[in-house]
Amino acid sequence: MGHFPKIDGSNLVTQVTIIDDDDIRGNGGEYTTEVETYVGELLGGNWKQCSHTGRKRVNFPGIGWTWDASKDGFVEPKGDWRDAWTLNETTLKWEPPHNCPDDTQVLTGVTWTPLEEEDKKDSDGNDARETLIGFISAIIGLDNDDYVACIVDSVADSEGLTYEEILEDITSEESQTDAAAEAASIACITELSPEEIMELSEIGEEGNEADEPVEADYSLPAVRIGLMNQENDPIGSFPEIRLGIEGAVNYINAELGGIGGHPVELVTCLQNSVPAAQECAQDLATSDLISVINGVNIWTVAFDFYGTMGDTPIIGGLPLFAADYDQPNARYFNGGSVQVYSAAARFVAEDLGVKKVAVLVNQNPAATAALDSGLAPIFDARGIEYEAIDVPIPLTDAIPPVSQAAAANADIVMLLAAANE
């Protein structure tokens, strides 16, 4: 399989998909303009082939990376916090301006700044106290040093700590002075004017709001989710499933902050035959994905799909076959064709009271599974006669099967055919 990132008008990677090796070889070969044009015509948009190991196009990109045609490679996202970092023109990755800090350096903002000797003095506590006041003022966003000084002094008195010890505590991973600071913030409120109290209240409310759109942080590793879907197949093609999922991924990344801040990356594999479906399953199972979405894939009935996927969790909207209903690593969000046609058969039998049914049915695995497991058991149990009438694939003339249904002397006609037909 070959990996192809999709490039938007700003040269940003918005999606990475997988193309079968046979399709690559049959359309110009690896890393050729011809195969990239072929993928563009197949899926729409501008696509570039890359290497999973980075041997071509410098890096294996994720969503948010940038295509640089002049360097024939993909550039790592910089991120707002890397202002002082520089791009390595060879690796196309960003490098920090300094090595890791030691005891003579302090983190200010996003850059490491060496301390001068005269600044290394907190022995009498005055500098530590001023540092605390400035640090806490910046956090709460309130310009009132008297109020913050009151909090700092109250915590020092109530906890019996030096200012240096408080500073060390609040910059540690697990602060022990939070409760004392909260009590002091209430006790010191007399240092605030009514306007400042209102301002502090509004700051707290803003911190609790989650209605504003939040974009995912593309400097963080992506949450990689696979999609396997059937497209460009005369038996049945379902691009609307892929388009819906792509829209959801774009919305999650642009509006909901991704997943825990991490952008979601959709790795798509399209299939239209048993060999292609099997190869898709094998490739997705070994692509370091947290889960795989099973779109509509009627050819998975021809091989051990779930065995191929191993421990990879499977999520789907439409179970088609008996095996889909009883898998420990799979969850589907509706009952699928078998359940739908079981309900339809009960309605026909119990509410309409018919004696004979003509069923127009495609001879594809999903349709026959719905007939054999959904309709037939209900009709057989209730003594309802049914006649299955084949709908050819592809359907070039609907008159013969419809005429056969009309001649069946049935009380009702049911349709069990792929969307294409």
Half-sphere exposure of 201 (CA within 13 A, CB side): 8
Q: Given 181, 207, 233, which residue is the final one in a domain?
A: 207
Give the ranges where 256-358 is alpha helix by DSSP (H). 274-285, 305-309, 336-346
Smallest CA-to-CA distance from 230 within 274, 287, 266, 267 is with 274
Q: Given 183, 207, 231, which residue is the final one in a domain?
A: 207
Q: Tokens at residue 158, please?
A: 């109530």
Q: In this structure, are residues 227 and 291 in contact, taking their beta carbons and an 8 Å threshold?
A: no
Tell me, yes or no, whether 346 lies in a domain: no
Q: Tokens at residue 200, please?
A: 């502090």
Residues 180 and 276 grouped into a single domain: no
The whole domain housing 231 covers 2-51+221-332
Task: Report the domain count for the chain.
Answer: 3
Supply the pLDDT for residue 265. Answer: 95
CA dihedral 84, 88, 93, 99 (to 10 degrees): -50
Domain containing residue 362: CATH number: 3.40.50.2300
Supply the pLDDT for residue 212. Answer: 81
Residues 298 and 260 grouped into a single domain: yes
**Rounded (to 5) percent helix, strand, coil in the chain:** 40, 20, 40
Tell me, yes or no, whether 215 lies in a domain: no
Q: Given 273, 297, 332, which residue is the final one in a domain?
A: 332
Smallest CA-to-CA distance from 48 within 65, 225, 269, 290 is with 65
Tell me, yes or no, whether 173 lies in a domain: yes
Tell me, yes or no, whether 386 lies in a domain: yes
Tell me, yes or no, whether 69 lies in a domain: no
Res 98 pLDDT > 80: no
Residue 331 has φ and ψ, to the nearest 5°, of: -135, 125
Residues 260 and 321 grouped into a single domain: yes
169-178 burial, b for 16+ CB within 10 Å, e for fewer? bbeeeeeebe
Residues 321 and 235 grouped into a single domain: yes
Structure confidence by residue, pLDDT tens digits, 104-141: 455 444 445 554 544 444 444 567 788 888 878 777 77
Element (H, E) at 86: strand 86-87
Supply the pLDDT for residue 123. Answer: 42
- The alpha carbon of residue 365 and the mean position of all alpha carbons in its chain are separated, in whole angstroms, by 30
Residues in the chain, overall count: 421
Residues 277 and 229 grouped into a single domain: yes
- Which amino acid belongs to residue 183? A
| Cα gap 380→378, rounded to integer Å | 6
Q: Which residue has the higher pLDDT, 386 or 186?
A: 386
Residue linked to tokens 């992506």: 222
Structure confidence by residue, pLDDT tens digits, 319-339: 888 788 888 889 998 888 778
Structure confidence by residue, pLDDT tens digits, 31-76: 999 999 999 998 899 999 998 766 789 988 888 889 999 999 999 8
Does the global pTM surpass 0.95? no
Structure confidence by residue, pLDDT tens digits, 232-281: 987 778 899 999 999 999 999 999 999 989 999 999 999 999 999 999 99
Tell me, yes or no, whether 150 lies in a domain: yes
